[in-house]
Amino acid sequence: MEVDAAGLPTGPGVPSAEAGLHARIAAVSGAGAVVHVHALAPVQAAERWPGGVPLRDLEMLKGFGRAAHDDLVTIPVVQNGQDMRVLGDAFERGYRADTPALIVARHGVYVWGDDLRQARHRLECLEWLLRFVVS
């Protein structure tokens, strides 16, 4: 489903309760698109590294917007909850301009980019990276 910058639908359908968090991520990061999936690897990684998931020495980091594979990238992890304002506040506290992703513990992952193509590409790269580190 597609929503605007305020989290309101741009077409038919009803946005999820999380649409406000999507809008907040876009507003803070300047992203043109935010994608969210309930993939297993991010949830597993957050269980192992609840303070943030460290990624380093993997070539796929270049696809995640890094110039070198040996950069240390730490994906922020926030605790899950039903209040999107609380989740948004946690996102802002952990936000890193050079890390376009956020894992919500025991829930899923948000990834963003300049447009939907870039956000999806980054999501694909991040899912690969996280599958690797939890395997």
| Three-state SS at 23 | helix
Domain ranges of the chain: 35-134
- Residue 87 and residue 38: Cα distance in Å, rounded? 16
Average model confidence (pLDDT) for the chain? 92
Sign of CA dihedral 3, 41, 106, 66: negative
CATH class assigned to 35-134: alpha beta
Sign of CA dihedral 17, 21, 37, 3: positive
Q: What is the pLDDT of residue 44?
A: 98
Q: Which of 37-51, 71-85, 121-135 has the lowest mean pLDDT?
A: 71-85
Whether residue 7 has pLDDT greater than 80: no
127 is catalytic: no
Q: Which of 59, 92, 124, 127 is catalytic?
A: 59
Q: What is the pLDDT of residue 101?
A: 97
Whether residue 61 has pLDDT greater than 80: yes
Q: Shortest CA distance to 100 belongs to which of 18, 39, 31?
A: 31
Mean of pLDDT values over 13-39: 91
Q: What is the pLDDT of residue 26?
A: 95
- Residue 74 and residue 63: Cα distance in Å, rounded? 15
Report yes or no on whether pTM surpasses 0.75: yes
The strand pair at 108-113 and 33-37 is best described as: antiparallel
Mean of pLDDT values over 44-72: 89
Q: What is the pLDDT of residue 126?
A: 97
Q: Using alpha carbons only, give the angle 17, 44, 55 rounded to the nearest 5 degrees.
A: 105
Q: What percent of the chain has pLDDT over 90?
A: 70
Q: What is the pLDDT of residue 3?
A: 78
